[in-house]
């Protein structure tokens, strides 16, 4: 079997395993988001539902079709990026272990479980923003970022930092040199950040001044929808109308515990550190530690959401996607080494990989709505065996350029 075919099967198998564990229909929380729009005036997060209503009748079936289409497009893009970047870098063992970890990671698991959430749209917009930056179309990247803020303010923590990283890396003359925020790069960053930052402050000010005045209007609208429960109508209406300062006051006291001493800190932290190490090794960042530290900080920025939100496990999944995008960005500005430049993983790195691999495949995740993952431990052991076998055969197969 050709190495390229084996590689595609490996990534498909890992992706399918993660998705099948938790994939479900959109829950009423995500459905409620698509039902909301600007019919009662401006509200945060209303843009996605407004655009949806331009093209489709708002009902449960169309929300399912839209949610499935968005998730399929997201998976298609990240799968294509992973295969292309792996082949481009001559099947580097570090790149392969990185992408296998990503496809088995909690991000893929939660993206399938939380189908219909606006997070998926935000990451699609992030990929588009980075693509525009790669094409030197900074203004259009800024427009995309601003639109994403109106879709969901979480874009401030997900889209903006990694897009800024892309902008910096794509404007460094020589990747081997340490990136310096030159006047030229600062001007580019200012151009990019102008529109989304204005959007963030505008929405924040609006929420502080008059956001809560819409609570009863939204609640009464949502509870009349047959597939939205009264409990969800209440929680979604609160999420759309409570100010950011209110959530910070309510949740910030739990920030340290959620970040440093939670179950997720261990279960997610080890695979995240491993993923960072793979990037460090793949791109030879020992000689460019500033790039490594910058990416590490950007990957951890989503964890600041612990100070304003209580869905701990969902938040911990975001850094995996940020690191995936970081790998893509670095690969675009770093020339692949020749075949002799790649070495097999050391024994310690192999052990590190196996520990991460077992954590993300065998330990059940805490899911939403009281649900549990589908497969027993024995079933999981059987299902991950093909992944391990393909990794072994990839190591033995001759390297063929894509």
Q: State residue 379's pLDDT score.
A: 94
**pLDDT greater than 80 at residue 241:** yes
Find out whether 104 and 19 touch, Cβ atoms under 8 Å. no
3-state DSSP call for residue 14?
A: helix
Tens-digit pLDDT profile for residues 8-40 = 999 999 999 999 999 999 999 999 999 999 998
Question: pLDDT value at position 333?
Answer: 87
pLDDT digits (tens, 9 = 90+) for 114-157: 999 999 999 999 999 999 999 999 999 999 999 999 999 999 99
Calculate helix-pair angle for 289-300, 312-333, nearest 10 degrees.
Answer: 150
192 Cβ neighbours under 8 A, 6+ residues apart: 133, 138, 141, 142, 145, 163, 164, 167
Q: Which of 68, 97, 94, 96 has its CA nearest to residue 83?
A: 96
Q: In this predicted structure, what is the pLDDT of residue 373?
A: 94
Q: Can you tell me whether residue 39 is helix, strand or coil?
A: strand
DSSP count for the chain of H helices, then E strands: 19, 0
Q: What is the average pLDDT across 177-189?
A: 78
- pLDDT confidence of residue 1: 53
């Amino acid at each position: 079997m050709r190495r390229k075919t084996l590689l595609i099967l490996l990534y498909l198998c890992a992706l399918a395993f993660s998705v099948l564990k938790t994939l479900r229909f959109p829950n009423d929380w995500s459905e409620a988001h698509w039902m909301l729009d600007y019919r009662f005036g401006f509200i945060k997060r209303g843009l996605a539902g407004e655009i949806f209503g331009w093209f489709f009748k708002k009902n449960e079936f169309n929300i399912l079709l839209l949610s499935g289409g968005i998730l399929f497009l997201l998976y298609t893009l990240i799968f294509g990026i992973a295969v292309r970047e792996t082949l481009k870098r001559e099947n580097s063992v570090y790149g392969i272990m990185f992408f296998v970890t990503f496809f088995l990671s909690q991000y893929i698991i939660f993206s399938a479980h939380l189908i219909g959430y606006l997070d998926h749209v935000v990451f699609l917009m992030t990929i588009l923003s980075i693509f525009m930056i790669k094409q030197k179309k900074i203004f259009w990247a800024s427009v995309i970022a601003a639109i994403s803020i109106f879709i969901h303010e979480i874009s401030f923590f997900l889209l903006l930092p990694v897009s800024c990283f892309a902008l910096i890396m794509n404007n460094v003359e020589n990747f081997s040199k340490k990136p310096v925020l030159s006047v030229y790069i600062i001007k580019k960053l200012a151009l990019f950040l102008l529109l989304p930052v204005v959007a963030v402050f505008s929405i924040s000010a609006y929420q502080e001044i008059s956001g809560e005045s819409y609570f009863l209007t939204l609640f009464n609208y949502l509870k009349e929808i047959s597939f939205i429960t009264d409990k969800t109508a209440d929680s979604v209406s609160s999420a759309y109308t409570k100010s950011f300062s209110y959530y910070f006051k309510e949740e910030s006291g739990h920030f340290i515990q959620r970040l440093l001493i939670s179950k997720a800190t261990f279960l997610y932290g080890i695979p995240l550190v491993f993923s960072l190490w793979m990037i460090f090794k793949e791109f030879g960042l020992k000689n460019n530690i500033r790039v490594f530290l910058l990416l590490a900080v950007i990957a951890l920025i989503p964890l600041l959401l612990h100070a304003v939100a209580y869905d701990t496990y969902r938040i911990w999944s975001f850094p995996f996607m940020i690191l995936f995008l970081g790998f893509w960005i670095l690969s675009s500005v770093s020339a692949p080494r020749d075949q002799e430049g790649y070495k097999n993983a050391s024994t310690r790195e192999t052990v590190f990989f196996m520990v991460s691999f077992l954590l993300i495949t065998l330990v059940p995740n805490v899911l939403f709505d009281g649900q549990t993952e589908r497969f027993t431990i024995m079933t999981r052991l059987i299902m991950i065996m093909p992944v391990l076998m393909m990794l072994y055969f990839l190591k033995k197969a001759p390297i063929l350029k894509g």
